[in-house]
A and B are shown apart, each in its own frame.
Chain A
Amino acid sequence: MTVPLIEIDNIHLDLPVYDHAVRSLKKDLIRGLVGSRISEGHGQRYIRALDGISLTVREGERIGLVGHNGAGKTSLLKTIAGIYEPTGGSIRTAGKITALIDIAAGVNVEASGYENVIMRGLYLGQDLASIKERMDHIVTFSELGDYINLPLRTYSSGMVSRLLFSVSTAFEPDILLLDEGIIAGDPAFNEKASHYLADYTGRAGIVMLASHSKELMHMFCNKGVKLSRGQIEAEGEIEELF
């Protein structure tokens, strides 16, 4: 069994911007409001999304990522997940990673909940047999009942979130990366989800959650990291970061 670990050493991430319609006013506004930095080189415009981040996350830690929109929370999660490759610095992870960042990604609204579970499970690297074996657990945990056989377009957004959360945790990833969009909105389920995650990190696992909500942070996390302009501004108790 792998001991989950995330070791980030001074990473930088420059996101290229391919939209040539970005005008200087907009650029200035973004710089002022959002806090990311935009640079140009070789005729190519970049946004420096992460700027020298070093962080080590060990088993049992549930990290809450705090920060303004554009502070780099999602970019950091996507870099850890391997979706983005850092422009500089190094990142080392041990353990199976599941990222749940954008609720709309990879769901098929015309397909049933059941079919979506199968598809997501396959995307997560499971085979059909093990997905079907976990199906009962997923249906029970997501509290979807008979809805599981209806197309996803009949679901409320809370139901989609519950389904995705249940599938993503069903195969026990070592590292779970979450965006608050996934869990916001359903207090009763959040309670259950947070207990589940606490229990799961108790059994050795890492959770990272990007959120604006102090309440969610308290519910889900045991440590906080505050990002600002792509850098770590503070690290420590969640209470101190707000």
Chain B
Amino acid sequence: MTFLAPAIEDLSDALRRFHLWIALGNIEIRQRYKRSFLGPFWITINMGILIFGIGYIYAYVFQSLHSSYVPYLATGILSWNLIGGSLSEGANCFIAAGPIIKNITISKVVHLFHCMWRNVIIALHNGLIMVPVYLIYGGFPGWGILAIIPGAIVLVLFLVSASLLFAVLSARYRDVPPAIAGFLQLAFFATPIIWEAGTLSHHRWVVELNPFFHMVECIRAPLLQGVLPLHSIAITGALAIVMGLVALAAYSRARRRIVYWL
């Protein structure tokens, strides 16, 4: 454990500086939409266009009812956006913060949290789309929706861990970010988000073995059925712990050298 001590030190230092990364994330989001009338709500609107547009058409493709397919697609895409967005941006967080790392002495984990916070804000804006979805198609799960809190916490823990590992690898090996982007694209189509897991019938094991399915479920199940998906949360949590330890080990080894890789 002494080997991990400096990494843990950086981690807790970054946690203490929550003012910094929260402010940085907020300013960035505001900036992106600064001169637009609707501001960050463009995030929500674009999500709405996607969900209602694709949902309307694909419900026919899959011959399902709009009232069940659109909420399913909406919750799936909401989860995926957080997962895919965090992992691809997280992998780039040290590279993007290069000028800062080379000039300001601060725990490098701050840059990861900054990136993660920005993705959480985007996810919260996207989440607003559930209001019209529930209003139009019904299915609001009542108090059960609170199950999203443990689900989201476990998911974010996994995303932070995985992003830290990817960020270290990406800073050193510049082939990693495009590889991750390609892999995420495959994962999006291979995971039941647009299509439903039930359609696989005999081949459902493909879904059960897919970690992304469980990550998506951490958010989708509470929003859709108002239940706590214990099985999926347990798997995501276990992956978070394993990934977290690997990431800390990699970061411990690399933390002094990252500055030279940028």
CB-CB contacts below 8 Å: A111-153 with B: 111, 115, 118-119, 122-123, 125, 127-128
Does A91 sit within 8 A of B, measured CB to CB? no
> A170 an interface residue at 8 Å Cβ cutoff?
no
B20 touching A110 by the CB < 8 A rule? no
Does B24 lie within 8 Å of A105, measured CB to CB? no
Asked if A83 and B103 make an inter-chain contact with CB atoms under 8 angstroms apart, the answer reads yes
Instruction: Confirm or deny: B49 has a beta carbon within 8 angstroms of a beta carbon on chain A.
Output: no
CB distance from A178 to the nearest CB of B (A): 12
Q: How far apart sit A26 and B261, CA to CA, in the bound complex (Å)? A: 20
Q: Give A122 to B111 CA distance when docked, in angstroms.
A: 13
Shortest Cβ gap from B31 to chain A (Å): 5
Q: Tell whether A32 is near chain B: CB-to-CB under 8 Å.
A: no
A82 part of interface (Cβ distance < 8 Å): yes
Q: Known A83-B105, A102-B99; judge A119-B23 contact (CB<8 A).
A: yes
Q: How far is the CA of A115 from the CA of B28 in the complex (A)?
A: 10
Residues of A within 8 A of B202 (CB): none
- B106 interface contact, C-beta 8 A: yes
CB neighbours of B209 from chain A (8 A): none
Which residues from A are CB-within-8-Å of B23? Answer: 118-119, 122, 128
**Interface of chain B residues 56 through 77 with chain A (CB within 8 A):** none
Distance to closest chain A CB from B62 (angstroms) = 42
Query: Does A3 sit within 8 A of B, measured CB to CB?
Result: no
Q: Give chain A nearest CB distance to B24 CB in angstroms.
A: 6
Is A108 on the interface with B (CB-CB < 8 A)?
A: yes
Are B100 and A123 in contact, with the CB atoms below 8 A? Answer: yes
Contact with A along B95-113 (1 / 0, CB 8 A): 0000111111110000000
Task: Determine if A105 and B106 form an interchain contact, defined as CB atoms under 8 angstroms apart.
Answer: no
Given A15-B260, A118-B23, A122-B19: A105 and B34 interface contact (C-beta under 8 Å) = no
Cα(A77)–Cα(B99), bound, Å: 16
B256 contacts chain A at the CB level, 8 A cutoff: yes
Using CB atoms, name the residue of chain A closest to B21. Answer: A122
Cβ of A85 < 8 Å from any Cβ of B?
A: yes
A124 CB, min distance to chain B CBs, angstroms: 8
Interface centre among B27, B101, B256 (most CB of A within 10 A): B27
Q: Are B102 and A122 in contact (CB under 8 A)?
A: no
Q: Is B231 an interface residue (CB 8 A)?
A: no
- Taking a contact as CB atoms under 8 Å apart, the answer to whether A127 and B19 are in contact is yes
Proximity string of chain A (201-214) to chain B, C-beta cutoff 8 Å, 1 when within and 0 when not: 00000000000000
Give the interface centre of A18, A106, A110 by most chain B CB atoms within 10 Å.
A106
Pick the residue among A15, A110, A118, A123 that contacts B104 (CB under 8 A).
Answer: A123
B204: Cβ under 8 A from any A Cβ: no
> Do A84 and B259 have beta carbons less than 8 Å apart?
yes
Q: Does B102 contact A83, Cβ atoms closer than 8 Å?
A: yes
Query: Judging by beta carbons under 8 Å apart, are A18 and B260 in contact?
Result: yes
Q: Which residues of B contact A81 (CB under 8 A)?
A: 105
Report the Cα distance A125→B102, complex, angstroms: 17
Task: Determine if B260 and A115 form an interchain contact, defined as CB atoms under 8 angstroms apart.
Answer: no
Q: How far is the CA of A104 from the CA of B103 in the complex (A)?
A: 10
B interface residues, Cβ below 8 angstroms from A: 17, 19-20, 23-24, 27-28, 31, 34, 99-106, 256-257, 259-261
A97-B105, A123-B20 are known; give 8 further A-B pairs, CB within 8 A: A16-B260, A18-B260, A81-B105, A83-B105, A84-B259, A108-B27, A122-B20, A128-B23
Q: List 5 A-B contacts (CB under 8 A).
A: A83-B259, A102-B102, A105-B100, A127-B19, A128-B19
Which A residues lie at the B interface, using CB under 8 A? 15-16, 18, 78, 81-85, 97, 99, 101-102, 104-106, 108, 110-111, 115, 118-119, 122-123, 125, 127-128
